[in-house]
Amino acid sequence: MAAALVSVNKTSPEAPSKGRLNYYDYQAQRYMPELDGVRAIAVSLAITAHLHERIWNFVSGFVGVTIFFVLSGYLITRLGLQEETRKGRLNVTSFYVRRIFRILPLYYFVLAVYIFLILGTHLWATKVVPFRIALPYYLSFFQEVPSWMFGSAFASALPFYQSWSMGIEEKFYLFWPLLVAGIPRTRQNTRFAVAILGALICLIQGVLSEARETYHLESYGFILLGVSLALLLSRPRLYQLFGQMAKLTTPLALLVMIMTQLSLRPQAHLRGFSVLYALAVTLIIGSLVTCKGVGTRILSTPALVFMGRVSYGIYLVHILCLNALEQVIKPGSVTGQGLFIYIGTLGLSTGVAYILHRAIEKPMIQVGRRISDKPKPSPLELEVPVAG
């Protein structure tokens, strides 16, 4: 099996359809630029959710985080399975070291900027009290707690409130190795069953519960959908079945995404539609990585790939950039102001994120790699997404 994964010349027992990768070619992929394009779409959506003009509600931008969650679960699991195939097991210590140096340096740098601006300069006097309340949670990986402990009204007044998704991601990283390292590779059915069962429990509980503190379970369900996809596609027969069904499932998934996108607006939220959206995202990601078509080519364009590579930084700094633009552009001073601010925020945050990527993010990733004593990483391993 190991030899099959590093060879791109082998063919599967059944010849693939036009545009569809055979199983061994799929396993041999070291980098999938189309997933950078997916991240670019996700962060572009997320920015619209934080604009102050209500005209942007039709975009349902908060589902951008849902895309990040599914993608994160898929890529982390795929990389873990590839390491397991190459080396016989997942090195859990190295996994934690890589995650720490991938996420925390940039996160704490941006948090330090918020601390300086709010508590140091009192630039936003009205933000001082809520920020002081939330700061212990920001520092201790429970960033999602203020949003359910104090309610949505308090959360919307919080500086750096978009970091709630980091709390979800960090806890997922803490327990994820139990699935791959804790369950032997010979028990693939057990791994898949655990991932699917976990996703179902989290999604059902998140949809049915009225308590804010359990609502975030839905987010763990989204991540586990991505985990399940990676486990499914790692099995030759299931991979083949998925490819055979792709022609039917992909158009259906796109239709579901469009319908739920229109229905998930804050003023018309329907419980459970977010689950349908996440399922559709999961199917589309599966189609993108197994079938090379028009969608893959569009998402692999240089501009989208570039934005996807720095999407973590964009997510962390875009509200700061938005606030800076709104200090310069006064309400009603520009024709088409909402669109202008959106484009300006996206452009400015991308530029800032690129600088931070070169100055902090990329060097720290390399430090983590050296400490974990691993070979030179592939682009795929460097660019595992985080949800913000």
In a domain, 3, yes or no: no
In a domain, 212, yes or no: yes
Q: Please determine, for residue 73, whether its predicted confidence score (pLDDT) is greater than 50.
A: yes
In a domain, 204, yes or no: yes
Q: pLDDT at position 292, please? A: 85
In a domain, 315, yes or no: yes
Q: pLDDT at position 375, please? A: 56
List C-alpha distances in Å: 159 to 1, 110, 113, 193. Answer: 49, 11, 11, 40
Lowest mean pLDDT of 38-42, 132-136, 214-218, name the range: 214-218
In a domain, 300, yes or no: yes
Query: What's the whole-number average pLDDT of the chain?
Result: 85
Helices (H) and strands (E) in the chain, counts: 21, 0
Q: What percent of the chain has pLDDT over 70?
A: 84
Q: pLDDT at position 47, please? A: 94
Lowest mean pLDDT of 8-17, 44-53, 300-309, name the range: 8-17
Q: Please determine, for residue 147, whether its predicted confidence score (pLDDT) is greater than 90.
A: no
In a domain, 116, yes or no: yes
In a domain, 8, yes or no: no
User: How confident is the model over 168-197, as pLDDT tens digits?
Assistant: 999 999 999 988 888 988 899 999 999 999
User: How confident is the model over 222-235, as pLDDT tens digits?
Assistant: 999 999 999 999 99
Q: pLDDT at position 374, please? A: 56
DSSP per-residue codes, 231-278: HHHTSHHHHHHHHHHHHHHHHHHHHHHHHHHHH-SGGG--TTHHHHHH
In a domain, 340, yes or no: yes
Q: pLDDT at position 97, please? A: 95
Which of 341 and 123 is assigned the larger pLDDT? 341
In angstroms and rounded to an integer, the radius of gyration of the C-alpha atoms of the chain is 21
**Structural domain of 171:** 21-382
List C-alpha distances in Å: 227 to 15, 47, 65. Answer: 27, 26, 16
Q: Please determine, for residue 148, whether its predicted confidence score (pLDDT) is greater than 80.
A: no
DSSP per-residue codes, 34-96: HHHHHHHHHHHHHHHHT-S-GGGGGG-TTHHHHHHHHHHHHHHHHHHHHHHHHHSS--HHHHH
Q: Please determine, for residue 377, whether its predicted confidence score (pLDDT) is greater than 70.
A: no
How many independent structural domains does the chain possess?
1
Tokens 């604009």 sit at which residue? Answer: 51
Q: pLDDT at position 313, please? A: 98
